[in-house]
A and B are shown apart, each in its own frame.
Chain A
Amino acid sequence: MEIEVQNLRKRFGEVEALRGISFGVFPGEVFAFLGPNGAGKTTTIKILTGLIREFQGEILYRGEPFSPRILSFKRVIGVVPQHNNVDRDLTVEENLKVHCYLHGLWGKKQRERIREVLELTGLQGHLRRKADHLSGGMKRRLIIGRALLHEPQILFLDEPTVGLDPAVRRSMWDLIRGINVLKGCTVFLTTHYIEEADMLAQRVVILDAGRVVAQGRPQELKEALGRYTLEIYHRDRIEEEFFQSREEALERMRSLDVPAKVREVNLEDVFLSLTGRRIRV
């Protein structure tokens, strides 16, 4: 197991951000935390990457107990934070160089790493541009590239596509898949986009208000409900019913006297059936 978390708790004063969560991440997989705003996704990432030092619970990295004070953990992880923290006064190259220096990469090795990362992220022509002048998508690519410079074995991505338009989001998905497959990097990502978890992740933890409400393969989680969802549009609410086959769902639809629609089950349905709420309100 790459990361094992047991009964992780974190309070900020009155707020219980994490109320005892347990989960595991396997080597080489894309693992997703899916949950609405305030679920505790960022808090978990900050604890696992040593940015928050006070917490309760047990964390093992490859069987070794994790402590935010042990520097060697930091060499194997790369982190892409939720907010965009490129150094806007510096050029793309200088941004990358600062990270290289922080990880003790100098000279030829540094040039090699920067070249590879530029190729991977498609930022080759922009080395001398001021980071502030890049587009939103390019800034995201820059911080992803930056996190890969020291060749981490686990990459944390906190809401990597939030605020990006759909086309850019898709290209970001390709990039993340590429990193996972080509670099053999374990990917831990958080998202509140259902499609994103569905498309990218081999395994998902669904988080709500500091608690794990479900975990497993997206396929398994969905199949526990059924394969098709019938959305029934009542005047004041939408009701959902689940069926194993499209025929059953269609038959039920014909028996109704209100509008309805049949579609495949998705992770939103899983969230809804477990919490009674939708991920995006």
Chain B
Amino acid sequence: MKGVWAVFYRELMFYRRRGVRTVLSSVIYPALFLLAFGYGIGKGARVSGMSYITFLIPGLITMSSMNQAYGISVEVNVSRYYFKIFEEYLLAPIGRWEIMAGEVLYGMGKGLLPVLFLLGYSAFAGIGLRITPLFLLCLFLHLLAFALLGFIIAMAVESHADQAALSSFVMVPMIFLSDTFYPIDKMPLLARYLGYFSPLTYSTKLIRGTLLPGSHLFSFKYLLFMVGIILALLAVAVVLVERAEA
């Protein structure tokens, strides 16, 4: 366990040094989306039997927390290949999985910030979201899945150009095809099918479903599905970190 803390501590100190800048960047995005879609276009609009802003906020929660949690891919990659800080971890008498756990924990922590911001905002604006243990469980699974994905990408994709391409060809489309801004069952057939392949679709349904119990979006089927995805990601992450050499 000492390795988990060591790695997490390093990232915490790193994050602290970046301070205000990083916190702001994790909040500015959802705030802008809120303004543009929630108040600009969506004012007075209704989707799936609720006001658009009520529909949108859970989507913004999953989108922005995914971005932050997945974002460790770049940070971990830079500290491994560019600054060679990873070498310190590989030399230490710790299990390789501890490195993974420390980084993933950090990614999950980063993902939590915009969630807190958006939940705070909705309480303030009087949007009735219900925070239940089931919601917390779904949020946990969502953060875990995307932090793991970020870690995997950091280990597997060495070049920055490839990372950027992955982001614009996979991550960004995923945001638009995953129920975040608009229900995918209202989309053209192709987009809908693509959406079914995106794990974000399921975590969005789970998070929106638990925050808005009236929406009937929640299903244990999705929950099991997320657990399955996480187990698969975990297996890949463990193999990659075990194989890592300096």
Which residues of A pack against B, CB within 8 Å? 46, 49-54, 71-72, 74-75, 77, 79, 81, 83, 85, 87-90, 94, 97-99, 101-104, 146
Contacts and interface: CB of A to CB of B under 8 A. Distances in A.
A101 B2 contact: yes
Interface stretch (B9-17, B51-59, B140-148, B226-234): B9-17
Nearest to B92: A102
B85 interface: yes
Contact of A102 (B6, B17, B245, B246): B6
Interface of B: 2-3, 5-6, 9-10, 13-14, 17-18, 79, 83-85, 87-95, 245-246
A79 B91 contact: yes
19 contacts: A51-B245, A53-B245, A74-B91, A74-B93, A87-B79, A88-B83, A89-B14, A89-B18, A90-B13, A94-B10, A94-B13, A98-B9, A101-B5, A101-B6, A102-B89, A102-B92, A102-B93, A103-B92, A146-B88
B226 to A, nearest CB: 32
A157 B90 CA distance: 17
Contact of B246 (A46, A75, A88, A89): A46
B10 A83 contact: no
B246 A90 contact: no
Contacts, number: 73
B29 to A, nearest CB: 23
10 shortest interchain CB distances as A-B pairs: A101-B6, A102-B92, A74-B93, A85-B84, A51-B246, A71-B93, A102-B6, A104-B2, A98-B10, A94-B13
Contact of A89 (B5, B17, B88): B17
A102 B88 contact: yes
Nearest to A70: B93
A104 B91 CA distance: 14
Nearest to B99: A102
A159 to B, nearest CB: 15
Nearest to A79: B91
B88 A99 contact: yes
B84 A51 contact: no
A130 to B, nearest CB: 8
A90 B17 contact: yes
Contact of B84 (A83, A90, A101): A83
